[in-house]
Structure 1
Amino acid sequence: MSITFAATPRTQPQDLGSRARSRRGRALRRNLTGWGFAAPATALVIGLSIFPAVWALFISRTKWNGISPATGVGWANYGNLVQDPDAAAAAQHTLLLTVLFVPGSILLGMLIAVALNQKIRLIGFYRTCIFVPYVASAAATGILASFVFNPQFGAANETLRRLGLPAQGFLENPGQALLVICLIALWGEVGFCAVVYLAALQDIPQELVEAATVDGASRLRVFLHITLPELRPVTVFTAIWQTITAMQLFDLIWTTTRGGPMNSTQTIVYYIYELAFQTQRLGYGAALAYLLFAVTMLLTLGVLWYSRRTGSEAL
């Protein structure tokens, strides 16, 4: 008996080439379709962010009031910033605000997130209440806070009087104004940290917590040895985000103190605003803005480098 096998037709090289060209054509059409949708948004981002940033770099090397022709001064604006006492004072205020705001927002956000991660009644309502101040307008928050901390008829001093405590100057006291602004900023921003930490807490494997509990670990030890290590990448992200927020804080200061009293709340961003839009020193203000950008970038890269070295990178 003889067994015969049907011959398998071989694919011709011409067929392979046509199929490859067909796949490349379909891929090209998909890419063109995608760029057709993304191109308008990309052009908008470039036009509203990258182009002004590059233009501001050229302005920072000139002396210009926005009306008369600009005069090139090279890097003199950057050199003058080193000797500017107002810029140094604004940097000190910004540094103090950052040192108070960033750890406070991270610590409060983490504690609130742990509390909101419990199974209690009306938990959705509580989570909404915590997040509402973050989505509210910062300008509206500043205006409302101006009434609350008004030394004459504000609710804060009225509460102190009812408790038998002396009234305070708050936003009109040079020694208290920056602290009050930090408190207002915490009230508005802590909801963001709480939501981020809450999402991270719900992503922690429950098997780890249950295994530690079965082994006899207390809730404090579980939090210190399981929860906190799992939250390190989120902490890195929130630290970077809140640092940028603190260094670029402007709207609360503009709606509450306008840099006063006696320039005690004049931060770098508000000083840039005064230079560029009140005294029309656009070149000098642009130079300070780029210096702030460089410092922010170095701080961000430093935090990322340290986090990756310790194995807790967020990006």
Structure 2
Amino acid sequence: MTTRPLLKPPLRSPGVQRAQRSRRRFRDDLSGWLFVAPASILVLGLSFFPAVWSFILSLQEWNGFSEPEFVGLDNYSALVTDEDFAAAVMHTGIYTALFVPMSVLAGLFLAVALNRKIRFIGLYRTAIFVPFVASAAATGILSTYLFNPQFGLVNNVLRVLGLPAQGWLEDQTQAMFVIALMSLWGQAAFTTVIYLAALQDVSPELLEASRLDGATPWQSFWNVVWPSLRPVTIFVTIWQTIGAIQLFDLVYTTTRGGPLDSTKTIVYYLWEQAFRRLEFGYGSAVAYALFALTLVITIGVVLYSRRRGQDAF
């Protein structure tokens, strides 16, 4: 019985093969872009267009009804001599200086405490994260009742302990600290989750080796765990700083910038100028000043961390 030889497919030239690979690559790229196009258009529409329009508004004087009047950089130059804006920047800086270190340290402490194999650890981790998903408005309203000078729970506890009641949100010297505590209750969960994920990546062999070498728990943490957490710390510090600079919701639901404008932040001042006084051009200039401040802080921290060899991005 004779067998017929198998016919080999004709060899294609290298040029034809390259053309086929290029067509396949183009089809794959096109399919990918078609999948992401709706989301990309939505993101661009909700970010790029408002940013451009806000910049154009910052060069104009407009109350939302009359014809816009081009004023150039007058709105920006007015910010330099605006004492209310300077006060808002100072209040935002005070809040940032209070909130960011507390949130980072609280998140680190809670993450170390939750990085253990104990019973119901999943329940504890869930309970820590619940305040983060709660509405900031609900947090502000609840905190208002807790820190009410007349019938608030905190002052009632102080009275039972024989301590003097405090003014809290009605006291100029205490209001911003109370708002920082409110933010800490909701935002510490974020840093806890980030630190907890980083702690679970630390090599158990290194920790065991340090124990065998006679290191104390503190020495093991400082010399083994902490070096791996430094990039994470830079990231959460930048993230929490950006969030602190943009504080608005808690101020709006609690003090409305009071007492005596002691809690008026940059974003609240922006809202007041744009939507209460209808000075949309000036409010847009405040928004771009806030953007510039955030960008400078972020770039400064990133450059400093890279010079120290601790990249976080």
Shift of 1:10: 11
| Match runs of 1:41-60 below 5 Å | 41-60=39-58
Counterpart of 1:214 in structure 2: which amino acid?
L
Structure 1 stretches (4+) deviating beyond 6 angstroms?
Answer: 9-13
Give the secondary structure class of the aligned counterpart of 2:165.
Answer: coil
Unpaired runs of 5+ residues, structure 2, are 1-6
Shift of 1:13: 7.9
Deviations 1:184-229 (A, max 9, x none): 0011100000110000000011111111111111111011111111
| Match runs of 1:162-201 below 5 Å | 162-201=160-199
| Match runs of 1:19-58 below 5 Å | 19-58=17-56
Q: Identify the residue that residue 5 of structure 1 maps to in structure 2.
A: none
| Match runs of 1:1-315 below 5 Å | 14-315=12-313
Deviations 1:1-29 (A, max 9, x none): xxxxxxxx999885322222222111111
Percentage of matched positions with identical amino acids: 56
Counterparts of 2:213 and 2:295 in 1: how far apart (Å)?
Answer: 45
Give the secondary structure class of the aligned counterpart of 2:13.
Answer: helix
Unpaired runs of 5+ residues, structure 1, are 1-8
Counterparts of 1:13 and 1:292 in 2: how far apart (Å)?
Answer: 63
Shift of 1:165: 1.1
Paired residue total? 307
Counterparts of 1:12 and 1:60 in 2: how far apart (Å)?
Answer: 67
Counterparts of 2:258 and 2:98 in 1: how far apart (Å)?
Answer: 19
Given the two structures, how large is their TM-score scaled by the length of structure 2? 0.95
Q: Identify the residue that residue 3 of structure 1 maps to in structure 2.
A: none
Give the secondary structure class of the aligned counterpart of 1:231.
Answer: helix
Counterpart of 1:95 in structure 2: which amino acid?
G
